[in-house]
Structure 1
Amino acid sequence: MPLLAGLLSHIAEGYRSYHTPGHKQGWGALAEWRQLLGDEVFQMDLTELPGLDNLHDPQGIIEKGQQEAAVYFGAKETFFLVNGTTAGILAVLLAKSRPGSKVVLPRNSHQAVIHGIILSGAHPVYLPVSSHAALGLPGHITATDLESCLAALDEEALIVLLHPSYYGLAGELRQQVLTAHRYNCTVLVDEAHGAHFGTSPHFPLTALEAGADFAAQGAHKVLGAFTQSAYLHCQDKSDLEGIRDALRMVQSSSPSYLLMASLDVARCQCRLEEEKWDTAALLGERLRQEISRIPGILAPGEELQEVPGVIEYDPTRLVINVRKLGITGFEAAEWLCRERKILVEMADFQNIVLILGPAGVEKAAGALLEGLDAMAAACTNSRSAAGHFIPDPLQLPIPRQVITPRDAFFAEHSLLPPASALGKTAAEVIAPYPPGVPVLCPGERVGEEVLDFLQEWDAAGGVWPGKSRGSIKIVTGS
């Protein structure tokens, strides 16, 4: 762990601090705050000092840390990110697309991809994604749909793929990358939730194994890095200078050494704990079987491959469907929190999602099973969610793009109630959560189907960013 070793060596010298940050390695920190966190945290919260390197022009311990990460994850070059996977996605979009160029992406892409398109001025080409109604799960695009899109596009484009989804589902990534490369397209994979895939054959293949040119991974999602810490892995070295320039734009000029050190440690820990990841994967499969024996609850395993476009799944990402209990996933998550002090990763209308890992989850498995069993017993089945209508954003037609997302973002806008927005041009992303699938993106025409959907989503108890204001941002004069 070269970066961590360099920090510890610096601390051992006993320097007096006449530089940033203002807490002066703890001497200037609030006493109670220092006592709570401990001296070491403040001592390691450093800045660019002699021997400590510079993230934006690394030639020392940061460079060595990034090289170690590249070797382990199988990249030709790896960049440390201190602003999450988002920073990597934005950097690639800025470096590999430009005003007027095409970016092909699934309709259920993370909002960071849309934001990158706004920054670059590119034209988005959205690919449809289908869902599995009974499980309430969004799927993936297919290689066939990608092939048809690229054949019709007849020009080189940047392709952004999602692997895996928030639910741990993975699609035909290898075939999709091969298809994209056949059309001379560059492939960026949003692998925010897949940094652990290389640890065991029980996991889906990694984006780099599938041949992706770029893969952005959230090291804090499932590995041991601090929140906001991520990696950008590059196989395409043709424009690394462009990537570096873009990263300087989207990352702080004063990056946290605590975050960077945690990336160094997370890579080392991941390598040391590969057998534990293998055990966690097997535990996930066992828990699926045991949870599915509880009346009214299903933890799908092989059933996940029935979701459109899905061929693999992450066994440590537990999706638990509670539809037959007559409650929503939101209610299940709230009950487990209130009654058993169990916090889940996310919830939707039908499911809760839990993340397993090497960190002693086997010891907690019994408490989880007991909690789920007690929750099922507590349900009175006075109502049934099985027949309850739940609107599905992926069933909507993709709206017509009338101006680019960038033009819509920078245009003058007005706030209109939904009923008055029909036929107007959206100036914002509206993505009901969960699963966070956009029903409107900037520059798209607001259709009647979208307005009907938002009304149904509201009636079902769903939310979306901006719902509380009761209006939609519309391009003025549209």
Structure 2
Amino acid sequence: MERLDQQRAPIYEALERFGKMRVVPFDVPGHKRGRGNPELVELLGQQCVSMDVNSMKPLDNLCHPISVIRDAEILAAQAFGAAHAFLMVGGTTSAVQSMILSVAKRGEKIILPRNVHRSVMGAMVLCGAIPVYVNPECDHRLGIPLGMSVSAVEKAIRENPDAKAVLVNNPTYYGICSDLRSIVKLAHDNGMLCLADEAHGTHFYFGENLPVSAMAAGADMAAVSMHKSGGSLTQSSLLLTGPAMPEGHVRQIINLTQTTSGSYLLLSSLDISRRNLALRGKQEFKRVSELAEYARKEINAIGGYYAFSKELCNGDSIFDFDTTKLSVNTLDVGLAGIEVYDLLRDEYDIQIEFGDLGNILAYLSIGDRPREVERLVSALAEVRRRFGGSKAGLMQQEYIDPIVAASPQEAFYAEKESLPIEDTAGRICSEFVMCYPPGIPILAPGERITKEILDYIQYAKAKGCSMTGPEDADILRLNVLK
């Protein structure tokens, strides 16, 4: 494949050319370049709404790209070191689901860690694949699930030689990485594919001294959230594939669920962001890493907080750490992570990424500057002084080993009944329950409900975690198998 110039942005260039053509729109969208919706123009601006156009010959078609979108995909593949890149406008959820649906059918197994995003489990419900969980090790001080140990993956492969693929988080939400190269080799040596959920690892492809990216490690597919650390618009993402994955088959799978009306605002943002990272990513992510290191040093000097980093690495379940992630344990301040999250927003006008029962995550990326970091550090010091206390009574353990009693698809579509949540211990759940963010299920369809899980849910609700998933939005009832 000929190498294209990374200074190009084919979709953006085509939109600019189209804008100069003064075409009269007798197609959709119905706002007709904003004329039919003046309030929308006021909110978003004329340039934005005039670029919200339909697929047409000069602008290509996302379902079957042959010109400018095709060139943008080639440029993305070359920038990320992939055999092919697919532009995704349904978020990384759509990329993850396409990845799973591409490799497994009903009744086929995928080996994966239990601390996966809900999109992985949603794909299992859709295609009927069966999860084989590798329970991640846990750091009891931090109360977080870690990566998968190579020996645990090896054991799962040995016990399930018919599995189709192994899925790895690269990294976890907290920045923890498994030994991806070794897991890829294990999968390939046993005739399996290796998939990576890289929702939080876009920068691995461009930064220095960061963990290995999925494509560099030889993985077969990777779902990459360009809108998280890569700077594109929310809901835009990439699906990367290695040479073993047939492009035509993957495109067919994507087209089963992805919209036929791809947003050119999202597509052009992917195009421009890829160009930005290809040209300036290395220096930008070096700056982000240095900013995160500075923040860690300052936060750890406050006392009580623990902003963790590479000192956790143990060569296996924490093989590497993403130093751009500003993950902070809060329990020694006497506050749950979700309480610090709420205080930062309500008292200091600082919106961080998430808080769980024991940790917070401040997401640093190419748009952050030192003065904002200084403000965060000062606010954390004040939170400790004003609201801190004893850690007595704070729940620490974050990860509970699941008991899988039925496949996610079987349980999701089975005959079910709704019970008060306190009466569900011992029953098999038929829906998801999760704190969002990060969107990792506490319960997934097909898992047995235990008293420990119910205690965890009640505690998380009491602390103010945003719980999502069940049909009953108040989570007073759960659907269980009859």
**Comparing 166-175 and 106-115, the one that deviates more:** 166-175
Structure 1 segment 334-413 matched on structure 2, within 5 A: 334-379=342-387, 381=388, 383-385=389-391, 387-390=392-395, 392-394=397-399, 396-401=400-405, 403-413=406-416
One of 428, 432, 439 as aligned partner of 1:429: 432
Distance of 2:464 and 2:13 partners within structure 1: 51
Quick check: 2:357–2:398 contact (8 Å CA) kept in 1? no
Partner Cα separation in structure 2 for residue 367 and residue 183 of structure 1: 50
- More displaced 10-residue stretch of structure 1: 424-433 or 268-277: 424-433
Cα separation, 2, equivalents of 1:166 and 1:285: 18
Alignment match, 1:187: 194
Q: Relative to structure 1, is the Cα distance of residues 236 and 412 closer, same or farther in structure 2, using a 3 angstrom cutoff?
A: farther
Q: 1:104 is matched with which residue?
A: 111
User: For residue 25 of structure 2, what is the amino acid of its counterpart?
Assistant: S
Q: Which residue of 471, 474, 478 maps to 1:472?
A: 478
Find the aligned partners of 2:290 and 2:393 in 1 and give their Cα distance.
Answer: 34
* Percent of aligned positions that are identical: 31
CA distance in 2, matches of 1:435, 1:314: 17
Q: Is the 8 A contact 1:131 1:308 kept in 2?
A: no
Choose which of 50, 54, 77 in structure 2 pairs with 1:70: 77
The 5 Å alignment of 1:75-224 reads 75-224=82-231
CA distance in 2, matches of 1:298, 1:43: 48
Match of 1:117, SS state, is helix
TM-score scaled to structure 1, two decimals?
A: 0.93
Contact 2:414 2:481 in 1 (8 A): yes
Instruction: Give the letter for the 2:247 counterpart.
Output: L
Structure 2 CA distance for aligned equivalents of residues 398 and 225 of structure 1: 35
Task: Report deviation, 1:451.
Answer: 3.8
How many pairs are equivalent?
A: 470
Structure 1 residue 326 and structure 2 residue 334: aligned? yes
Structure 1 counterpart of 2:5: none
SS in structure 1 at match of 2:357? coil
What's the counterpart of residue 45 of structure 1? 52
Q: Deviations over 1:131-153 (max 9, x none)?
A: 21222322111111000110111
CA distance in 2, matches of 1:195, 1:398: 30
| 1:279 aligns to 2:279 (yes or no) | no
What residue number does 2:3 align with? none
State the distance in 1 between where 2:108 and 2:23 align.
Answer: 51
Amino acid at match of 1:473: N
Range 121-130 or range 456-465, more displaced: 456-465
Q: Distance in 2 between matches of 1:422 and 1:326?
A: 30
Of 237-246 and 126-135, deviating more is 237-246
1:379-427 residue CA offsets vs partner (Å, 9 max, x unmatched): 3x4x312x33415352x332132x3211221222211123433433221
- Does the residue aligned with 1:220 lie in a helix, a strand or coil? helix
The match for 2:232 is 225
Q: Deviations over 1:320-355 (max 9, x none)?
A: 222222222222222222333211111122222111
Q: 2:275 aligns with which of 247, 265, 268?
A: 268
The question of whether the paired residues in 1 share the 8 Å contact of 2:144 and 2:397 is answered with no
Contact conserved, 1:390 with 1:457, CA < 8 A, in 2?
no
TM-score (ref. length: structure 2): 0.92
Aligned-CA RMSD value? 2.1
2:443 is matched with which residue: 415, 440, 456?
440
Inter-partner Cα distance in structure 1 for 2:341 and 2:454: 29
Please, which moves more after superposition, 447-456 or 410-419? 447-456
Q: 1:368 to 1:454 in 2, by over 3 A?
A: closer
Amino acid at match of 1:302: K
Match of 1:300 in 2: 308
1:450 equivalent in alignment to 2:450: no
Task: Give structure 1 stretches of 5+ with no counterpart.
Answer: none
Cα distance between partner residues in 2 of 1:406 and 1:157: 17
Instruction: Report the residue type matching 1:152 in the other structure.
Output: E
Mapped partners of 2:335, 2:213: distance in 1? 36
What amino acid maps onto 1:425 in structure 2?
Answer: I
Shift of the alpha carbon at 1:361?
1.5
Paired with 2:21 and 2:460, the residues of 1 have a C-alpha distance of 60
User: Which SS does the other structure have where 1:438 is aligned?
Assistant: strand
2:31 equivalent to 1:27: no
After alignment, is 319-328 or 260-269 more displaced? 319-328
Indicate how the Cα distance of structure 1 residues 338 and 14 shifts in structure 2: closer, same or farther if over 3 A, else same.
same
Aligned to 1:244: 251
Residues 97-125 of structure 1: CA deviation (Å, up to 9, x unaligned): 11111111111111111111111111111
Code of the residue aligned with 2:374 in structure 1: it is G
Gaps spanning 5+ residues in structure 2: where?
1-8
Give the Cα–Cα distance (whole angstroms) in 2 for the partners of residues 326 and 358 of structure 1: 32
Instruction: Tell me which amino acid in the other structure corresponds to 1:186.
Output: L
- Report whether the alignment pairs 1:57 with 2:64: yes
Q: Secondary structure at the match of 1:231?
A: strand
1:17 alignment partner in structure 2: 25
Q: Separation in 1 of the partners of 2:349 and 2:214? A: 35
